[in-house]
Amino acid sequence: MTNLSHKKVLISAYACRPHMGSEAEVGWSTAWEIAQYCQVWVVTRSDNRRAIEAELAKQPDLKLQFIYHNLPWTRWWNFGVQLHYYLWQFKTYGLIRRLDREIGFDLIHHVTYVKYWSPSFLALLPIPFIWGPVGGAESAPKPFYQDWSMRGKLYENLRNWARRLGEYDPFVRLTAQRSQWAGATTAETAERLRYLGASQVCITSEAGLSSEEITGFSQIPTPAESPFRIISMGRLLHWKGFHLGLQAFAAAHFPTQVEYWIVGQGPEYHRLQSLAQQLGIEHQVRFWGQLPRSEALQKLQSCHVLVHPSLHDSGGWVCLEAMAMGRAVICLDLGGPQMQVTDTTGIKVPAHSPDQAVIDLADAMVRLGSDGALRQRLGNSGQQRVRDYYNWTAKGQYWAECYADILNSGKI
């Protein structure tokens, strides 16, 4: 591989904060790993500064520099995060264009946000540009709309409208067309990137775990066979499909000692509690609410199976965490989890209709609940898959090889 130690790489990471999970972790960990190979500058928001500087103090020799950049009206950004993000990208273009005259960047990599329907104006600079991986083209199958509240249906329709509008943005199309490499988190997003004009598209996950996390998770013992526990984790939103998990658990007709734990908070909390009562399983279901990450992971390690019935996740970080712990995963055959979970690491359930999905989820729960040896085989395979494909160290090496190929091609 080409020696990249003198190459100067700019990373655009609107979300970038260590040990936060989700997109903030994508920004931070991508930059951290790439800095093992290149000189790296990261442009991000100023409100990430305290957490970043505290982490940098632990390794002051790392070739990693941060550019903290805000809009003048940044205190208002919570009233329109998507608009703020768009305007932040626009203003960042002018800042980096001026900075490039001083530094001379060899390559620009847009990392976060991980969404395909908003542009990165940095693609307009005469510098090789990498976009993503980005996601967001995933949609819940239409038959599943029927179970949602009016608020949920409105959200999905607005989301679909925003994506369509974004695809008409000429700067989104320019971002795709000027990308030397564009990453998509799912096949759905890959299709949209090609539609927008990206010439080289690769399907790859944005999510990962550190080597330390993977090692630590692998040492967590399997819980005792009884009581058998199933867990679902995440924000309690309509599209996360927790209602499908509850319905499937009721349909499985487990004995009373079997438990279903739900970790998370959100607008569906009370609706899900009411559903558990209507289904007659309230004594077997425990709602833990929102927990710090460390406590949430303790709940995960106390359970045997993760059920992740999300209807349009681009990522699905909890699936990786469960797999790294050696826990079997049940998910819908949709989105990011569809890419992460294989037939050797879990059970993927088709999502044609709510009734069919509930029946198949219930069958999967019963199957894993009655077969400890199967759970062990799936768990072992999951751990190996995370080590091979979702280790941030391996991802850093992947990016270094990608950079070398692009820089050696001489294309802009």
Which residues fall within 8 angstroms of residue 379, CB to CB, at 6 or more apart? 222, 323, 325, 326, 327, 328
pLDDT at 280: 96
Structure confidence by residue, pLDDT tens digits, 240-258: 999 999 999 999 999 999 9
Q: How far is CA 140 from the centre of its chain?
A: 17
β-strands 328-332, 305-308 pairing: parallel
Class (C level, CATH) for 8-208+391-409: alpha beta
Element (H, E) at 27: helix 22-34
Which residues fall within 8 angstroms of residue 110, CB to CB, at 6 or more apart? 11, 12, 120, 122, 123, 129, 130, 131, 132, 134, 175
Q: Are 385 and 217 in contact (CB under 8 A)?
A: no
Which residues fall within 8 angstroms of residue 254, CB to CB, at 6 or more apart? 228, 284, 365, 366, 369
CA distance 104 to 128: 12
pLDDT at 78: 47
Residue 321: both structure tokens together: 């965490």
SS3 content of the chain, % helix, strand, coil (to 5): 50, 15, 35
Where are the extended beta strands (E) located within 191-327?
A: 201-203, 229-233, 259-263, 285-289, 305-308
pLDDT < 70 stretches in the chain: 1-2, 60-61, 73-79, 410-412
- Number of C-beta neighbours around residue 403 at 10 A: 24
SS (H, E, C) 292-303: CHHHHHHHHHCC
Q: Are 209 and 293 in contact (CB under 8 A)?
A: no
pLDDT at 79: 47
The pTM of the whole model exceeds 0.85: yes
CA distance 123 to 58: 33
pLDDT at 160: 92
Q: Does this chain's domain 8-208+391-409 share its CATH topology with 218-389? A: yes
Residue 281: both structure tokens together: 């399983």
β-strands 129-134, 328-332 pairing: unpaired
- Number of C-beta neighbours around residue 68 at 10 A: 14
Structure confidence by residue, pLDDT tens digits, 290-307: 999 899 999 999 999 999
pLDDT at 204: 92
pLDDT at 71: 78
- Alpha helix segments (H runs only) across 35-80: 49-56
Which is it for the CA torsion 81, 83, 89, 95, positive or negative? negative
CA distance 74 to 45: 10
Please choose, from the candidates 34, 175, 177, 199, the residue with its C-alpha nearest in 3D space to the C-alpha of residue 115: 175
Element (H, E) at 346: strand 346-349
CA distance 71 to 261: 42
Please choose, from the candidates 350, 315, 247, the residue with its C-alpha nearest in 3D space to the C-alpha of residue 23: 315
Which residues fall within 8 angstroms of residue 233, CB to CB, at 6 or more apart? 262, 263, 264, 296, 299, 300, 306, 308, 318
Tell me the domain boundaries of the chain. 8-208+391-409, 218-389
At 52 the three-state DSSP class reads helix
Class (C level, CATH) for 218-389: alpha beta
CA distance 51 to 69: 15
CA distance 39 to 348: 41
